[in-house]
Amino acid sequence: MASHLVWFRADLRVHDNLALAAACRSSEVEVLALFIAPVKQWQQHSMAPRQAAFLLSQLNALQQSLAKRGIPFIVKPVDDFAASIDAVREVCETHKVTALFYNYQYEFNERQRDAAVEKALSHITCQGFDDSVMLAPGSVMTGNHEMYKVFTPFKRAFLRRLREELPECVNPPGVRTKALPDKLEPITLDYPQQPFDTDLFAVDEKSALVRLQQFCQDNVEHYDTQRDFPAIDGTSRLSACLALGVLSPRQCLQALLKAHPDALEGKIGAVWLSELIWREFYRHLITYHPNLCKHRPFLGWTDNVQWSNDRAALVAWQQGNTGFPIVDAAMRQLNQTGWMHNRLRMIVASFLVKDLLIDWREGERYFMSQLIDGDLAANNGGWQWAASTGTDAAPYFRIFNPTTQGERFDSQGVFIRQWLPALVDVPTEAIHSPWTWADKEQITLDYPRPIVDHKQARNETLAAYDAARKLLLAQ
């Protein structure tokens, strides 16, 4: 009897899972599921303990979902990707697997691993699928058949493709022979974990789908006006589910269009759709520019920037002790919840790179060590955007003023007071520059003074980038 193996990775769901659906297409075959936990690889890439806890919750939920469909779930811990190859081969030999099904991952190491697996399993049919994207890398290209280097024309081309043909969602598999026992041994992971807030993040696929439907029906129409204000719960908070594949982007698209059919035409929902397309853009980019997975900037000349090695400033930023309230509140939100509002991600990234002149890779690495929604493509893309080292039409002299950003997006200081209790009693008109008020009133605050002068830092950063660019021109 034929035996199919589904290798789960960042696709932890039974609905709209292309590899799972393909493996289960025939009722005449036995289907097994596999998840490999490369613990040391996770450590090397600084996977956040909260993301590990979120991952574990999804794995246990997936095990139950598969069991109800009569599909056993094997979880194997290994050291790294190299050991993953042997683990897959061992499972295939033990269970006499005739075909392997998996969904593509686009990061460089993952692509190398998958190529090695297919080579090692030359006697077995291997089928891969573009599952974590709406449109496969290579399907949205310039007229010269090159990858777009700027988001806006990519988005226009992407929307044209969607209008021509929408990607469909596939149904979950039905029950195969009989369901497995209800009482299954809980899955465990030998990796540091921190509890995550189950009120903020879905604990399983079912609750993720409910959150998606509710957001598209009730909240997405206000997304464009509320998404930039961290004191308002105006975002979907589905990024963690997308990062681990608890939801697919196709499900997001279909749920959005069901609630707001004109989203493709720039009407209600178009701004959230644009954010989903940003996610696609960064995934397509790492496929065509694998150096992005190797801590290399997209714009090579920016490697000439002379970064500061001020470790004390880096630690102050990490701990939320810079003396700039909106930056510090954002970093404390990240440290305490594993998540940060998207507008704040841009503000704190700009501050680290453009005010402290610290290498963007330090920020990228720290974010991955904390984020419950850590995703290499999106995290790298966001940091390179903020650092002006990536694919963006704006020049390097785009520098956010952290004080005016706070005044604009948290004008009443509601978010700041939530995360900085030392500033609770500071009057609203002074909340973004509390020391100016405190010195005038001769009050001592249990809050650090600004560690940098923004105007001076801006000039120094512009000079550093300009010198790096001139160095390139001189070569």
276 appears as a binding residue in the annotation: yes
pLDDT in tens, 173-193: 999 877 677 788 999 999 999
In this prediction, residue 473 carries a pLDDT of 72
279 appears as a binding residue in the annotation: yes
To the question of domain 3-129 being in CATH 3.40.50.620, the answer is: yes
Q: Predicted confidence band at 4 (pLDDT cuts at 50, 70, 90)?
A: very high
Q: Evaluate whether 205 touches 65 at the Cβ level (below 8 Å).
A: yes
Indicate the burial class of 263 (C-beta count within 10 angstroms; 0-12, 13-18, 19 or more).
buried
Domain ranges of the chain: 3-129, 151-169+199-289, 300-474
Max intra-chain CA distance, the chain:
82
239 appears as a binding residue in the annotation: yes
Q: Evaluate whether 100 touches 88 at the Cβ level (below 8 Å).
A: yes
In this prediction, residue 224 carries a pLDDT of 94
Q: Would you list the DSSP string of 46-80? A: T--HHHHHHHHHHHHHHHHHHHHTT--EEEEEESS
188 appears as a binding residue in the annotation: no
Q: Evaluate whether 134 touches 216 at the Cβ level (below 8 Å).
A: no
Q: Predicted confidence band at 253 (pLDDT cuts at 50, 70, 90)?
A: very high
Helix axes 270-288, 249-259, angle to 10 degrees: 160
Query: Quick one: which H or E segment has residue 6?
Result: strand 3-8
Q: Could you say which of 321, 342, 435, 437 is catalytic?
A: 342
Which of 472, 469, 461 has its CA nearest to residue 307? 461
Q: Predicted confidence band at 27 (pLDDT cuts at 50, 70, 90)?
A: confident
383 carries an active-site annotation: yes
In this prediction, residue 181 carries a pLDDT of 72
Q: Tell me which of 3.40.980.10, 1.10.150.20, 1.25.40.80, 1.10.3720.10 is the CATH number of domain 151-169+199-289.
A: 1.25.40.80
CATH number assigned to the domain covering 300-474:
1.10.579.10
- Please say if the pLDDT value at position 396 is more than 90: no
In this prediction, residue 178 carries a pLDDT of 72
Q: What are the beta bridge partners of residue 99?
A: 4, 125
437 carries an active-site annotation: no
Q: Would you list the DSSP string of 439-459? A: HHHT---SSPPPSS-HHHHHH
In the chain, the amino acid numbered 77 is P
238 appears as a binding residue in the annotation: yes
Q: Predicted confidence band at 393 (pLDDT cuts at 50, 70, 90)?
A: low
CA angle 213, 251, 141 (to 5 degrees): 140
419 carries an active-site annotation: no
Q: Could you say which of 219, 221, 304, 307 is catalytic?
A: 307
362 appears as a binding residue in the annotation: no
Helices assigned H by DSSP within 351-422: 360-370, 376-387, 402-409, 414-419
278 carries an active-site annotation: yes
- pLDDT, mean over the chain: 95
Which of 56, 54, 45 has its CA nearest to residue 109? 45
130 appears as a binding residue in the annotation: no
Q: Evaluate whether 9 touches 102 at the Cβ level (below 8 Å).
A: yes
Q: Would you list the DSSP string of 120-159? A: HTTTSEEEEE--SSSS-TTSS--TTS---SSHHHHHHHHH
pLDDT in tens, 161-172: 999 999 999 999
pLDDT in tens, 277-329: 999 999 999 999 999 999 999 999 999 999 999 999 999 999 999 999 999 99
Q: Could you say which of 383, 385, 401, 419 is catalytic?
A: 383
Q: How far apart are the first and last CA of the chain?
A: 64
Q: Residue 199 gets which letter from DSSP?
A: T
288 appears as a binding residue in the annotation: no
Residue in this structure with the two tokens 């309230």, named with its chain if needed: 325
Which of 311, 294, 312 has its CA nearest to residue 303? 294
237 appears as a binding residue in the annotation: yes
Q: Evaluate whether 402 touches 355 at the Cβ level (below 8 Å).
A: yes
Which of 196, 264, 269, 277 has its CA nearest to residue 227? 269
277 appears as a binding residue in the annotation: yes
In this prediction, residue 475 carries a pLDDT of 63
Q: Could you say which of 278, 317, 385, 419 is catalytic?
A: 278
Q: Evaluate whether 374 touches 367 at the Cβ level (below 8 Å).
A: yes
In the chain, the amino acid numbered 58 is Q
Residue in this structure with the two tokens 């005038």, named with its chain if needed: 440
Q: Evaluate whether 107 touches 286 at the Cβ level (below 8 Å).
A: yes
In this prediction, residue 22 carries a pLDDT of 98
Mean of the pLDDT values across residues 435-462? Answer: 96
Q: Could you say which of 275, 301, 407, 437 is catalytic?
A: 275
360 carries an active-site annotation: yes
Q: Could you say which of 360, 362, 401, 419 is catalytic?
A: 360
223 appears as a binding residue in the annotation: yes
Tokens of 251: 């499900």
Tokens of 125: 């049919």
d(CA 470, CA 475): 9
In this prediction, residue 2 carries a pLDDT of 79
Tokens of 358: 């610290």
Q: Evaluate whether 58 touches 381 at the Cβ level (below 8 Å).
A: no
